[in-house]
Structure 1
Amino acid sequence: MKCGQCQIIKLSKEFPDSSFSSKCEHATSWYLECLVGYLREMQHQCLIYKIELTDQEVKDCCLFWDSASFKIDIESLSQVRAELSGPSNANSDVFYVVLLNRKKITLKLSEITTVKALKYALRDVTKIDITKQKLIHNDMELNHFQDDSINSTLESYEIHANSYIQLIVVLYSITQDQALTNLAFDLYWGFSYSGQDFFDSTCLIYAGDKLWKKYDYLSTFYPSVLYIRHSGDIIDHTNVRGHHKITIKLDELPNNVGQLYLILSS
């Protein structure tokens, strides 16, 4: 679907699924982010008939966008921040594991004390194999064993009540003895029965804990960075499929770049 405001094609789930006002029964053609920006910065009115909206209707629409599961919090991707809904309780028994889609899993310290046990617990909840789990806390990866082959405890990584751990799904890992200079990330997808649809492949590159560059179907190329390119949307109507390709020359990245994330979303 194409947004009536920014004219960018978005997935249908990124639009309001119904009218956002009891006074208007029509659907909006604006993408959620454009709609919320209009309501927050301009005026509390229907886009078409200029009917005044209630404060609660505006609040509900903004809340729906703020909590949308398809959004990725780019700025906090490399450093999970504790964002509790209420005051933290040091005597609490719980800690949290956060996925890239903002899903939060609540677990108990009294039931899980080691990294190994945590990965098995996450496998049961998320169905993600333990070999594909990468757990990060305070910019440090949680490993199964310490140097003396003893099971690593959560306490040894200073994970206490109300701590947040980030879970990243590893699609492909590179060992230390492998040297890669060129990377090509190909994503193909077939259209659904309802017609043309889109997937997104996004590359987020960090220097320390700061976002250095973002590549997606809109940000495909930076003139100052000649060694990274995103193809943008390549649509094959004959074979009813789409394609994204990201190419990176790893040996030309700046020395301060330490993290590179390739993300699939739909």
Structure 2
Amino acid sequence: MACIICKIEKLRNEYPSHNVSKDCDHPSLTCLRCIVKYIDEQEQCPHPECGLVIGNQSETMLLFKAILSKQFKEYESAYTPLVDMGGSNQYINITGLTGESTTVLFSPSMTVDQLKSQIQIKLKHEKIRQKLLYEGKEMNVYQTNGGMATLSEYGVKPNSTICVVICLYSIPEHFDDVVFDLYWGYPYNRTDYLDASCLLFQGTFYKRVIDYRDINYVAVSHSGDMMDNRRRIGHHKINVSLKKIPSNITHLFFTLSAYNSTNIAQYPNPSLKFYDASKPGKDLCKTTFHHARNSQAVIMCSVSRNTQGHWEIFESGQLSAGNAKNYERLIHTIQQLISRGV
């Protein structure tokens, strides 16, 4: 939808979830940026058929400004934060999909294993669960000849950024039918939906999406909306037959996006469970999305084939290129798909 002031097509989360005043009886067709700027300057509703006087320090305006300050941060496409720690020491930056970050003293002779040890100390993630990515390549602990791999062998430079992705669960080889189960609470005073989708990729190339509209594809099926109006709980279930997934599919991204609301914070207690379809009462891993409350969409988790061809589940992350440079192409593609309503 295009804003009536700037005439630019924008995502749903760039518009307010309600009018600037309860006395406005027209659709909200002005983006957050324009409505805040217009009322700051004119102190009236920007809709051409309204013109209601609005104070630029009204409660609703303060809320809109707060949403703007939190939601719409801008990142350079090749962003690498510089760290000035003082002295002559050099550092590298470690960042995760959830926005957590730290710095580690840089040495080109440091091994990947030593770097993982430092990350375990600083971010409290076990070494065995860490997957390190630098300029689109996974950093292995061992060289092909069996020796310990070093940072210099991956071309890591001072002040560069390494992305750490955390493995939540390594799926056993004998597993086949598994379930990703999403629950959410209704927003206050209304029924509304969160959209759970499964996006299939071959490397960084998008192949297909399975969601409430397109519910079946070979190895993936979607339950559609399962709404409990009495308990005010919504539910989506996505079944995956791992052994039927085509061999060219390398990644499955399970995304969650707000439907009518501007962000996920409007839905109480969203959570994801993963379990073997034959044992629905035994959760193999869970995750919540408190780190992405101000986002319109989030990657709930990703499922990827490792170098041995086995499936692993990785942590969730916000749909923001700035917090995971090495996933930038994938995340940008997913953002585009969601913005088109895919």
Give TM-score, length-normalised by structure 1: 0.57
Check conservation: 1:92, 1:162, Cα contact below 8 A: no
Three-state SS of the structure 2 residue aligned to 1:143 is coil
5 Å-filtered alignment, 1:168-179, equals 168-174=165-171, 178=173
C-alpha deviation, 1:122, in angstroms: 1.9
CA distance in 1, matches of 2:121, 2:156: 21
Match of 1:208 among 203, 207, 210: 203
C-alpha deviation, 1:166, in angstroms: 2.2
C-alpha deviation, 1:200, in angstroms: 7.5
Cα distance 1:156–1:61, how it changes in 2: closer, same or farther (>3 A)?
same
Check conservation: 1:134, 1:141, Cα contact below 8 A: yes
Alignment-mate amino acid for residue 67 of structure 1: K
C-alpha deviation, 1:201, in angstroms: 5.6
Pairwise CA RMSD of aligned residues? 5.2
5 Å-filtered alignment, 1:150-229, equals 150-174=147-171, 178=173, 180-188=175-183, 203-214=198-209, 219-222=211-214, 225=217, 227-229=219-221
Tell me what 2:79 maps to.
83
Match of 1:64 among 44, 67, 70: 70
Matched, 1:106 2:99: no
Alignment-mate amino acid for residue 128 of structure 1: H
Tell me what 2:128 maps to.
131
Matched, 1:117 2:114: yes
CA distance in 2, matches of 1:161, 1:211: 33
Three-state SS of the structure 2 residue aligned to 1:106 is strand
CA distance in 2, matches of 1:104, 1:143: 21
Cα distance 1:234–1:35, how it changes in 2: closer, same or farther (>3 A)?
farther
Three-state SS of the structure 1 residue aligned to 2:252 is strand
Tell me what 1:78 maps to.
none
Matched, 1:231 2:223: yes
C-alpha deviation, 1:203, in angstroms: 3.6
C-alpha deviation, 1:83, in angstroms: 0.9
C-alpha deviation, 1:113, in angstroms: 1.6
Cα distance 1:84–1:138, how it changes in 2: closer, same or farther (>3 A)?
closer
Check conservation: 1:187, 1:201, Cα contact below 8 A: yes
Query: Mean alpha-carbon deviation: is it higher for 152-161 or for 201-210?
Result: 201-210
Three-state SS of the structure 1 residue aligned to 2:38 is coil
Tell me what 1:45 maps to.
38
Q: Which runs of 5+ in 2 are unaligned?
A: 1-11, 57-61, 83-87, 255-298, 301-315, 319-342
C-alpha deviation, 1:186, in angstroms: 2.5
CA distance in 2, matches of 1:100, 1:184: 23
Three-state SS of the structure 2 residue aligned to 1:170 is strand
Check conservation: 1:82, 1:164, Cα contact below 8 A: no
CA distance in 2, matches of 1:107, 1:137: 15
C-alpha deviation, 1:141, in angstroms: 2.5
Sequence identity (%): 26
Alignment-mate amino acid for residue 256 of structure 1: N
Alignment-mate amino acid for residue 71 of structure 2: W
Give TM-score, length-normalised by structure 2: 0.46
CA distance in 2, matches of 1:187, 1:59: 31
Cα distance 1:186–1:64, how it changes in 2: closer, same or farther (>3 A)?
closer
Alignment-mate amino acid for residue 109 of structure 1: F
Tell me what 1:19 maps to.
none
Check conservation: 1:206, 1:213, Cα contact below 8 A: yes
Check conservation: 2:218, 2:244, Cα contact below 8 A: no
Cα distance per residue 1:180-207 (max 9 Å; x no partner): 543322345789xxxx999886544322
Cα distance 1:190–1:61, how it changes in 2: closer, same or farther (>3 A)?
closer
Three-state SS of the structure 2 residue aligned to 1:67 is coil
Matched, 1:246 2:214: no
Matched, 1:142 2:139: yes
